[in-house]
Amino acid sequence: MNEAEVKIHDVAFGGSGVGKLPDGKVVFVPRTLTGETVRVKLGKSRKGFSEAELLGIVSPSPHRVPPPCAYFGACGGCQYQHASYDEQVRIKEKQVRDTLARIGGFKELPPSHFEGAPSPFGYRNKISIHRGEGSELGFIATDHRTVVDVEKCLIANDSVNAKLITLRKSSYRAPHVTLSDSSQREGSPEGSFHQVNSAMAARLLEWVRGQIGGATSARLLDLYSGSGFFTLGLADLFSGVLGVDYDARAIHEATVNAQKRGVAPAKFLAADVGERIDPLLEDTSLAGGVILIDPPREGLPPAVTTALSAKGSERLIYISCNPATLARDLKGLAGTGSGRYSFKALGIFDMFPQTAHIEAVAVLQRK
């Protein structure tokens, strides 16, 4: 069986629609939406599921829209341009909730807040450009091997696209180059983490500030702080703040930024969180304060989860770009039975419209 007609009943995290083949085997089909009937060409078959290529739409979803980008489907950067933005929001909120239930075991979730992006296009302040084996200059293709030649990226802002045009006209031949809008990424060293959607980052910060609930005499410990976006953005609410990150360049920039902005209570430490977590938590001034965690996609090392559960502060605020590792870590911190924290609030922010990525925030209170 090389081709089949499939009914799509859900959209998985990553962007592919989920259906079943005539023999009952699960199949994943990119660029499809819930409720659609599609024609597919079967590809890789794995234990428990298959992958397939979309050949055509037999019965389209009412939420399907024409993708505005000519590269969509070939370029691997976007997964949802075929869906209306309202449908993208619905898909992502459901995916976060489903993942927290399936991996984290949370049958009931706390009150949640979902915030869509004010600009679903033109929001990225940084892109990574690759050079292909020929003259291609653009993004990695959906085959994960070749490069799609791109003249303009619709999710990048005007400043970044202007730099892409300049790069294409130049003789610069490096295999990879990062193009960024310096006005949007001030104080963040090249190669260090920084939110790529400035407008949504500001909204996320404002929501976190609301969860803290106003000025306090307590202290903030910001783990995986990068160049200090949250540390400096929350400093006025605390008597003291400490940002910790392994990236020494980012910590240097955070220290400089704190001095420039006159944020006296802000201190920064270049250290591996996993190696320093125990002495960090021995600071008794943190007992009634807040620990903010914004780890990379792989989430928390087990030793950090264990230490936070045993000796963490009164409140934890966990910011994640990966619902699966968020759910895993929350299971250890606030799971049924063994968790030392209660899951009090959930925020979901669409930092990356048109793509499969999503940012979620969990607010935990010690029991």
Q: How much is the pTM?
A: 0.92
Task: Count Cβ neighbours within 10 Å for each residue of 53-90 and write b for 16 or more, e otherwise.
Answer: ebeebeeebebbeebebebbbbbbbbbbbbbbbebbbb
Residues 39-86: tens digit of each pLDDT: 999 998 888 899 999 999 999 999 999 999 999 999 999 999 999 999
What integer pLDDT is reported at residue 185 of this predicted model? 61
What integer pLDDT is reported at residue 90 of this predicted model? 97
Structural domains of the chain ordered from first start:
3-64 (2.40.50.140), 89-118+196-366 (3.40.50.150)
pLDDT at 355 over 90: yes
pLDDT at 288 over 90: no
- What order do you get walking across the sheet with 359-366 strand by strand? 112-115, 341-349, 359-366, 315-320, 290-293, 219-223, 240-245, 266-270
CA 342 to chain centre: 23
Residues 149-195: tens digit of each pLDDT: 999 999 999 999 999 999 999 998 899 999 999 876 665 555 455 68
Residues 313-347: tens digit of each pLDDT: 999 999 999 999 999 999 999 987 778 999 999 99
Grade residue 203 by pLDDT with cuts at 50, 70 and 90.
Answer: very high
pLDDT at 270 over 90: yes
